[in-house]
Structure 1
Amino acid sequence: MDKWLSHPTSLKIISVIVGLLLWAVVHIDPDTSPQTVTSNVDTKTIEASVIKAEGLDTDKYILTAMEPSVVRLDVQGRLSNLLNASSDDDYVVSVDLKGAKPGIQELPLVATLPKGITLVEMSPRTVTVQIEEILTKPFELQVVTDGKPAAGYVVGASTIVAPTTGVLVTLPKDDMSRVGVVTTEINVDGADKTVVNKKAKIIVYDTDGIEMTNAVVSPETVHVEVKVTPPFKTLPLQVRYTGALPDGLSLVSVKPAIDQVTVYGEQKLLDELQVYDGVVLDLSKVKQSGEVQVKTGAIDGIKSIDPAEVTLAVVVAPIITREFAGLPITLEGVPTGMSAVFRTPASGKFDLSVSGAESVLNALKAESLAIAANVEGLSPGVHSVTLQIDVPAYVQTVLSEGQTLTVSIEIVEDASTGIGEDDSEEVGGTPTEEPPTPTPTPTPTPDTGEESGNGSGNASGGPTMNP
């Protein structure tokens, strides 16, 4: 051993070892634990990464099916990178549908991973997609009510406040033909006034009444109002009159801007009403032709009327008089087994003067004037009977000086009738002799558009409009 230690080479080796030990003692911190060398690369598995479809022309096509919808990813990277990308959303798997055409096709998948992470395995690597062509069509929106209003109230008209345009529905081409109805539902249960829904959802149903959840609707909601009112009824409008026109004027026409109104009240009362005559025109306030605003007054227990005001187009003109000679008198109500004989006038005809606007009288024909004598219930003998005169609207009867609206008629029993050739004509109805043609030449009837009706038999009475 001594010989080996005294050898020069051994001394050199020992010197080197001792030097290294001294350097280590000086430079190594005794408090520092010894470091171990380990691998800094790890792996991770994402079991269900959702596949995203990209690049599809959504104006023309729709993705109706994709199988599978998720994939399994095996990735690796530094532990720090894996920890930073802790969310599965950081790992994106997509299928590019740009340029894809309608039909079923298999396309490759592309994985986009966070920085510093690489893909080890993706399963599967392809996806099967089904693409269909889409159509967009306008549809009329229907408002459907749900529930019952409060007692004594009914559901009235529905109004789509906004949008004013139609509803657009987008569906695959093959599904569009199955659209049955496009509706929005409004709940009126217990309501006693108008129901308003500013965001009523629009739903598309197919022909079997099943909701088409794949339909894209524009807009998605609408502003809808549904009236809840007392019972109502729509009635024809009839204009009545009060007062008299200034001297020298006569009505040519009175034309309402509308011909129907809606009245609200108890159902029993509404069932009895056939016409609404609550619009009354005060003729004393009409000085010239023009439009007149007249309020719709409540009548016969009616609660309210819609609209509350009606516009009347009134036309007046200077008044003139025209005479019709030899108008036949119609006998009415002749008792069974009896006959009626005119005594005065013996001809059974009556001369009648009428007044009105020139355009109205020029168009007036003799057959439009009806004169009747009602003898119903009269016993045998001579009677003075008041005539009933029926004239068109805007025409009034005028009695000449000393003229009356009465005639003398004798009622005789058929068994005792013995009228000779010199006796007055026995009449059982309207005389068959044609009246003479009036002197004025009729002109074509102007298109006045007024509500026409029967005039009064009173010589000074105003016109009455019937529906």
Structure 2
Amino acid sequence: MDKWLSHPTSLKIISVIVGLLLWAVVHIDPDTSPQAVTSNVDTKTIEASVIKADGLDTDKYVMTAMEPSVVRLDVQGRLTNLLNASSDDDYVVKVDLKDAKPGIQELPLVATLPKGIQLVEMSPRTVTVQIEEILTKPFELQVTTEGKPAAGYVVGASTVVAPSAGVQITLPKDDMSRVGVVTTEVNVEGADKTIVNKKAKVVVYDTDGIEMTNAIISPETVHVEVKITPPFKTLPLQVRYTGSLPEGLSLVSVKPAIDEVTVYGEQKALDELQVYDGVVLDLSKVKQSGAVQVKTEAIDGIKSIDPAEVTLEVVVAPIITRTFTGLPIAVEGASSGTSAVFRNPADGKYDLTVSGAESVLNALKAEAITIIANVEGLKPGLHVVTLQVDVPAYVQTVLGSGETLTVSIEIVEEEAAGTDDENAEEVGGTPTEEPPTSTPTPTPTPTAPDTGEESANGGENAAGGPTMNP
């Protein structure tokens, strides 16, 4: 062997073989060598690759269900490529919804893998999806409050400052019918002043009070204002009057632009109020029909009023007079065991002249005028009783020169009723004799009913002053 190895020819042959081996190691491509491929290829399993929906027209449809939502992937590739794609996010599985229609349908899955990695198996290869049509509707936004304000304060009105256009809700068609309320909540705990421009989140609840988290809300937040005020109460508005209309004019109507006002003050004072009459119209400043602005005055412990000013639509017209004859006089207040008998006028009728606008007097009926003689507390005998006259709004009584709103009534005991003059007009008895006339007492001013407005005389009567009538 040593002799053969030392032979020159043998050495040359060995050198050529070694050189060929060295060349092969350097130049042979491992990708084309069967032995190299076998030694560098590996496999990998992704147990739960999330399926992604692609191509859906989100302006018209929404995918409400997908089963399954993940797939199992078996892949293979060079070890270096598998190591480089170590994250499961590198393996994308999609379902194409571009041509999907509303309803339940089964669609194929498509896997997109990293470079140099091949798919061996995907399970499952299809997915079942449910597509629904979506709707967008406007909803009224309700503002609710949480917590309690500071002591002595209450929560008032809540309003949405912005946006003014309202709130749009987008939901699947079937879910839209389950919307119960769209609301935003504001915390007022310990607040002692109005909360202004508060940013609040909009939430949608279904008819069972459960939040609908799948609702798309536009805008997602709004700016609201919550009034924090002293205690308040809403009261009907009643107009009062002062002064007199210019000579020759009479009121036809006075109509406030609003029927109610909100008053603020201590709760005790509010509890005692049933009507707000702090709007006072100065008739002396009314020269013609038209709108008049009148401030609301703080009265009876009221701290403030909303609104601070009220518009009154005032209509006036030239004044005229009209006389109603034979109006019956009603007697009230006769004590038990006595009767009241009219002496003057004997028939218990009264002729009354009234003034007002022509349109008001033309519509006035005799039944709308009430004349009462109150004899309460009067002892038996002849008395001059001042009449109480009740006329409708914007009508005034007119007295002629020397005329008084009085009648003569005799109070008699019932035992003596049968012996009196048979021709006397009586109310529960018969008179005996007619004493001299006594001086009448002034007519009391009627109290205005709670109707929301009062009337006032536009001129002067013969008694020397304006007569206010409810």
TM-score range normalised by the length of the shorter chain: 0.7 to 0.9
CA separation in 2, counterparts of 1:386 and 1:345?
Answer: 13
| TM-score for the superposition, normalised by structure 1 | 0.80
1:460 aligns with 2:465: yes
Structure 1 residues 382 and 49 mapped into 2: Cα distance closer, same or farther (>3 Å)?
A: same
The alpha carbon displacement at 1:269 in A equals: 2.2
* Deviation readout 1:388-444 (Å, 9 max, x if unpaired): 11122222222111111222221111112321235x322349xxxxxxxxxxxxxxx
Q: CA RMSD in A?
A: 3.6
CA separation in 1, counterparts of 2:111 and 2:320?
Answer: 99
Which residue number corresponds to residue 442 of structure 1?
none
Which residue number corresponds to residue 302 of structure 1?
302
Which residue number corresponds to residue 346 of structure 1?
346
**How do 1:28-67 residues align onto structure 2 when only pairs under 5 Å count?**
45=44, 46=46, 48-67=48-67
Which residue number corresponds to residue 192 of structure 2?
192
The alpha carbon displacement at 1:241 in A equals: 0.3
Which residue number corresponds to residue 387 of structure 2?
387
Which residue number corresponds to residue 110 of structure 1?
110
Query: Is the CA contact (8 Å cut-off) linking 1:231 and 1:264 kept in structure 2?
Result: yes
The alpha carbon displacement at 1:188 in A equals: 2.0
1:124 aligns with 2:123: yes
CA separation in 1, counterparts of 2:194 and 2:148?
Answer: 13
CA separation in 2, counterparts of 1:130 and 1:463?
Answer: 81
Structure 1 residues 193 and 462 mapped into 2: Cα distance closer, same or farther (>3 Å)?
A: farther
Which residue number corresponds to residue 243 of structure 1?
243
What secondary structure sits across from 1:98 in the alignment?
coil
Q: Which residue type is aligned with residue 391 of structure 1?
A: V
| TM-score for the superposition, normalised by structure 2 | 0.79
Which residue number corresponds to residue 405 of structure 1?
405
Structure 2: tracts of 5 or more residues without a match: 20-25, 31-35, 430-450
**How do 1:5-84 residues align onto structure 2 when only pairs under 5 Å count?**
45=44, 46=46, 48-73=48-73, 75=75
Structure 1 residues 190 and 372 mapped into 2: Cα distance closer, same or farther (>3 Å)?
A: same
Which residue number corresponds to residue 157 of structure 2?
157
CA separation in 1, counterparts of 2:320 and 2:289?
Answer: 17
* Deviation readout 1:163-221 (Å, 9 max, x if unpaired): 44454433334434433333222222222233346442222223332222223333323
Structure 1 residues 18 and 122 mapped into 2: Cα distance closer, same or farther (>3 Å)?
A: closer
Which residue number corresponds to residue 419 of structure 1?
420
The alpha carbon displacement at 1:255 in A equals: 0.8
CA separation in 1, counterparts of 2:296 and 2:121?
Answer: 80
Query: Is the CA contact (8 Å cut-off) linking 1:257 and 1:312 kept in structure 2?
Result: yes
Structure 1 residues 401 and 12 mapped into 2: Cα distance closer, same or farther (>3 Å)?
A: same
Q: Which residue type is aligned with residue 465 of structure 2?
A: S
The alpha carbon displacement at 1:298 in A equals: 1.0
The alpha carbon displacement at 1:295 in A equals: 0.8
Query: Is the CA contact (8 Å cut-off) linking 1:392 and 1:453 kept in structure 2?
Result: no
* Number of residue equivalences: 431
What secondary structure sits across from 2:152 in the alignment?
coil
What secondary structure sits across from 2:302 in the alignment?
coil
CA separation in 2, counterparts of 1:212 and 1:303?
Answer: 44
The alpha carbon displacement at 1:15 in A equals: 7.2
Q: Percent identity among equivalent residues?
A: 72
Q: Which residue type is aligned with residue 306 of structure 1?
A: D
CA separation in 1, counterparts of 2:43 and 2:263?
Answer: 77
The alpha carbon displacement at 1:249 in A equals: 1.5
* Deviation readout 1:300-342 (Å, 9 max, x if unpaired): 1112111111000111122222222332222111111111122
Which residue number corresponds to residue 27 of structure 1?
none
CA separation in 1, counterparts of 2:467 and 2:335?
Answer: 33
The alpha carbon displacement at 1:372 in A equals: 1.4
What secondary structure sits across from 2:299 in the alignment?
coil
Query: Is the CA contact (8 Å cut-off) linking 2:241 and 2:454 kept in structure 1?
Result: no
CA separation in 2, counterparts of 1:5 and 1:330?
Answer: 161
Query: Is the CA contact (8 Å cut-off) linking 1:390 and 1:454 kept in structure 2?
Result: no
CA separation in 2, counterparts of 1:2 and 1:248?
Answer: 158
Q: Which residue type is aligned with residue 123 of structure 2?
A: P
Which residue number corresponds to residue 325 of structure 1?
325
The alpha carbon displacement at 1:150 in A equals: 2.0
Which residue number corresponds to residue 433 of structure 1?
none
* Deviation readout 1:26-70 (Å, 9 max, x if unpaired): xxxxxxxx9999769665745543321101232343222333333
The alpha carbon displacement at 1:455 in A equals: 6.6
Structure 1: tracts of 5 or more residues without a match: 24-33, 430-449
Query: Is the CA contact (8 Å cut-off) linking 2:53 and 2:97 kept in structure 1?
Result: yes
Query: Is the CA contact (8 Å cut-off) linking 1:107 and 1:129 kept in structure 2?
Result: yes
The alpha carbon displacement at 1:370 in A equals: 1.7
What secondary structure sits across from 1:95 in the alignment?
strand
Which residue number corresponds to residue 446 of structure 1?
none
